[in-house]
Chains A and B, each alone.
Chain A
């Protein structure tokens, strides 16, 4: 990757520091001509000189160096509640993406023939068409409950590697993280297992939408489409139609919510998803909406949370490393730890690598490393 200095930033910083080009060259222990060559893009500083240059100018790598975005990871977050995404979150996810690159050659052969949604749209009818075709592709009927297994298998078929993580039910910024590596043509999807059962499938479907629409990854448009697609895939028009006609016959709000809750439980999705999909169905067909306040839906939802996926999978928590590693292959059909094991055996990678790519504690990383080193 050809790199050059951002000359405007260098000149601005020189002026701010009250330094001339000649003084800078002297401080760095190079000739004035060398600095001129760097600024003209004829040459690029060696690592040690680049370090001194950045320090002298108080410029970070991003401020100082012009690089091509080619090959950079593309990241998208499934944020928790109202969590704000900062530059630190993006930098950290980007860093994980860069660290994952050496792992790719150790993964089993990646599926090259993939399903794509070529014209993603949040228009109700177009979305239903996309969802209907997706369900057909997955072998699931219009009104059938979409199971986790359908989604998990489809990730594998779409060149995506699932990375289930234990990031805690509270505190962390995201519940899912999508890291696409364009040059390697692969996507890593981090799913937080410390998530309520009724939300988990929605996030998986959301991430599947990203996999189907790689050109929208990392954009607001991509997030909007992924949300719309996930809800529609899990509770499509045929389900919404049935649920609408049943719910509209109820005589009061409590009974209506109760009816919706039964649909949510049957499909293992949240009450809010059922409610939103029914309302969208009604609007698209110019029918009156359900006489239920959104606030009542949220109140009911918050008092009816299911258990966490992690607890359902690993009880008792936290899982032993062996059990956690086995779940990757057996439950999530993920080659992640197999590849990690191959890499550790072949190259002798240390435990801090696991700590950094899984964004976990050194304690857990060391335990996993020990298990994978056997």
Chain B
């Protein structure tokens, strides 16, 4: 089993329309979606996120997250903190490389999520371009949100209608990342048609 670990934005882009989502195994590698506790904390800290995503604290959503939260041992936490500090120091010492092309330097929380794969078999799902760059440099497996959507579609966990709905909603909310725009007519050619 491989955990597919969603960062805050990846979770918020998908969770409202895919139910159940967390804890469901899919694909040959038995991917299982989960979100780390820091995502929960990040949303609760931000009045903007709570305002934009009022469904986040609906009973059904909150219960699903709580039930599927990964519990860590003391030793795993020590390993995770060690790995996080290596990643974050790399970012801070190379900050100039993380401020170009729409990127921001990954924060300590972002590094914590990326570090997770060091202690459990996991792949991180994020649309943050800074995190993708960091992941490439440290050979950490990482997907864009649209890549997860493609895997879920292939595994028949979601339908073409789901994909269409999610794209429409993100576009309506002005929250469709550039990488998703590019993927629309490539990864989802059967749904949206070829590039014009």
Interface residues of A (CB under 8 A from B): 1, 47-48, 50-52, 54-62, 64-65, 94-95, 98-99, 101-102, 343, 347-353, 355-356, 361-363, 366
Task: Knowing A95-B88, A348-B100, A352-B107, say if A101 contacts B95 (CB, 8 Å).
Answer: yes
Q: Which 6 A-B residue pairings sit nearest by Cβ, starting from the closest?
A: A363-B48, A352-B104, A350-B104, A98-B92, A60-B85, A61-B89
Minimum C-beta distance from B51 to chain A (A): 8
Q: Is B160 an interface residue (CB 8 A)?
A: no
Q: Are A99 and B92 in contact (CB under 8 A)?
A: yes
Q: Is B145 an interface residue (CB 8 A)?
A: no
Interface of A is mostly: helix
Distance in angstroms between the alpha carbons of A280 and B128 in the assembled complex? 56
Q: What would 19 A/B residue contacts be, using CB atoms closer than 8 Å?
A: A47-B90, A47-B139, A51-B86, A51-B87, A58-B82, A59-B82, A60-B86, A62-B85, A95-B88, A98-B95, A347-B99, A347-B100, A348-B103, A350-B99, A351-B104, A352-B105, A361-B47, A362-B46, A363-B46
Q: Is B101 an interface residue (CB 8 A)?
A: yes
Q: Per-residue 0/1 for B115-156: is the Cβ within 8 Å of any A Cβ (1 yes, 0 no)?
A: 100110000000011100000011100000000000000000
Minimum C-beta distance from B89 to chain A (A): 4
Q: Are B46 and A361 in contact (CB under 8 A)?
A: yes
Q: Are B118 and A356 in contact (CB under 8 A)?
A: no
Task: Knowing A356-B107, A361-B48, say if A349 contacts B85 (CB, 8 Å).
Answer: no
Q: Are A353 and B48 in contact (CB under 8 A)?
A: no
Q: Are B83 and A98 in contact (CB under 8 A)?
A: no
Distance in angstroms between the alpha carbons of A64 and B83 in the assembled complex? 11
Q: Are A51 and B92 in contact (CB under 8 A)?
A: no
A58-B78, A61-B89 are known; give 5 further A-B pairs, CB within 8 A: A60-B82, A99-B105, A347-B99, A356-B107, A361-B45
Distance in angstroms between the alpha carbons of A55 and B86 in the assembled complex? 9
Q: Is B93 an interface residue (CB 8 A)?
A: yes
Determine the interface band of chain B, counting residues with CB < 8 A from chain A. Answer: 35 or more
Distance in angstroms between the alpha carbons of A59 and B86 in the assembled complex? 9
Distance in angstroms between the alpha carbons of A348 and B100 in the assembled complex? 5
Q: Which residues of A contact B118 (CB under 8 A)?
A: 51-52, 55
Q: Is B54 an interface residue (CB 8 A)?
A: no
Q: Which of B48, B75, B85, B139 meets A48, CB within 8 Å?
A: B139
Interface residues of B (CB under 8 A from A): 45-49, 75, 78-79, 81-83, 85-90, 92-93, 95-96, 99-105, 107-108, 115, 118-119, 128-130, 137-139
Q: What residue in chain B is nearest A98 (Cβ atoms)?
A: B92
Minimum C-beta distance from B83 to chain A (A): 5
Task: Knowing A349-B100, A349-B103, A353-B104, say if A54 contacts B92 (CB, 8 Å).
Answer: no
Q: Which of A50, A54, A343, A363 meets B99, CB within 8 Å?
A: A343
Task: Knowing A47-B90, A350-B130, A361-B47, say if A356 contacts B105 (CB, 8 Å).
Answer: yes
Q: Which residues of B contact A355 (CB under 8 A)?
A: 104, 107
Minimum C-beta distance from B93 to chain A (A): 7
Q: Which residues of A contact B138 (CB under 8 A)?
A: 47-48, 51
Q: What residue in chain B is nearest A343 (Cβ atoms)?
A: B99
Q: Are A99 and B95 in contact (CB under 8 A)?
A: yes
Q: Which residues of A contact B82 (CB under 8 A)?
A: 54-55, 57-60, 64
Q: Which of A52, A94, A102, A348 meets B95, CB within 8 Å?
A: A102
Task: Knowing A363-B46, A363-B48, say if A55 contacts B79 (CB, 8 Å).
Answer: yes
Q: Which residues of A contact B137 (CB under 8 A)?
A: 47-48
Q: Which of B88, B102, B107 meets A348, CB within 8 Å?
A: B102
Q: Which of B92, B101, B129, B130 meets A347, CB within 8 Å?
A: B101
Distance in angstroms between the alpha carbons of A50 and B93 in the assembled complex? 15
Distance in angstroms between the alpha carbons of A65 and B100 in the assembled complex? 28
Distance in angstroms between the alpha carbons of A343 and B101 in the assembled complex? 11
Minimum C-beta distance from A14 to chain B (A): 14
Task: Knowing A47-B138, A50-B86, A55-B118, say if A350 contacts B103 (CB, 8 Å).
Answer: yes
Residue from B46, B89, B137 having most chain A Cβ neighbours under 10 A: B89
Q: Which residues of B contact A55 (CB under 8 A)?
A: 79, 82-83, 86, 115, 118-119
Minimum C-beta distance from B124 to chain A (A): 14
Distance in angstroms between the alpha carbons of A80 and B106 in the assembled complex? 29
Residue from A55, A99, A366 having most chain B Cβ neighbours under 10 A: A55
Q: Which residues of A contact B104 (CB under 8 A)?
A: 349-353, 355-356
Q: Are A349 and B99 in contact (CB under 8 A)?
A: yes
Distance in angstroms between the alpha carbons of A59 and B45 in the assembled complex? 29
Q: Which residues of A contact B83 (CB under 8 A)?
A: 51, 54-55
Residue from B75, B85, B87 having most chain A Cβ neighbours under 10 A: B85
Q: Are B105 and A362 in contact (CB under 8 A)?
A: no
Distance in angstroms between the alpha carbons of A64 and B81 in the assembled complex? 13
Minimum C-beta distance from A187 to chain B (A): 18
Minimum C-beta distance from B78 to chain A (A): 5
